[in-house]
Chains A and B, each alone.
Chain A
């Protein structure tokens, strides 16, 4: 079992829809959770982080964390074509573990 699992996609949503990206992790001691966005040929850039159970909103992005279920998700509201990228989930305990990423395509 991978330490951080994501559906590789591709996930395709129409412009204006909600995109839902999911991530599960195996280390129950994990304390910090991050979502990175990576455009093709570019390096990852941080878009959200969350430490506590529940929801955290930042503009069109909402991160959701459920430690009991070892599950973290990212919702993107009013998806735009510029959101088309690969989204990496990262989980940190003593070190950072990354998922392989979910490729999102937002179609105009």
Chain B
């Protein structure tokens, strides 16, 4: 079974704090993704990575950065958290083929006060 894990299920931070969200997958997937999910807006892609040390911006990269130092680990960084970054953050991974599905982690619900 594919397993994608995320470091926290719930996180509460204060405005201006630096926040790290970690994602680990155990299936040797090339691709890893970070999404945020908000009511009525669906899943929106923040960043993705096709290989180690490689990253690409998604639809809403502003205010975020990522790091992929190892194939199995993809980190999302909020440099200075703001209240509009309160959301559910979902990590996903997949093999490289266009036909391959994405497998999701359990999600991290981040609240920024």
Contact = CB atoms under 8 A, between A and B. Distances in A.
A46 B43 CA distance: 15
Q: Give the bracket for the number of chain B residues in contact with chain A.
A: 10 to 19
A34 B105 CA distance: 17
Interface string B67-108: 000000000000000000000001000000011011111110
B42 A32 contact: no
B40 A100 contact: yes
Interface of B: 33, 35, 40-43, 45, 48, 58, 90, 98-99, 101-107
A62 interface: no
12 contacts: A8-B40, A31-B98, A32-B101, A43-B104, A44-B43, A49-B101, A88-B43, A92-B99, A94-B98, A96-B33, A96-B45, A100-B40
Contact of A43 (B33, B99, B107): B107
A52 to B, nearest CB: 11
Interface in A28-54: 31-32, 34, 42-46, 49, 51
Contacts of B102: 90, 96
Nearest to B39: A100
B101 A46 contact: yes
B42 A98 contact: yes
A19 B11 CA distance: 36
Majority secondary structure, A binding face: loop
A44 B101 contact: no
Interface of A: 8, 31-32, 34, 42-46, 49, 51, 88, 90, 92-96, 98-101
Contacts of B104: 43-45
A34 B48 CA distance: 19
Given A43-B90, A43-B105, A98 B43 contact: yes
A92 B98 contact: yes
A1 to B, nearest CB: 14
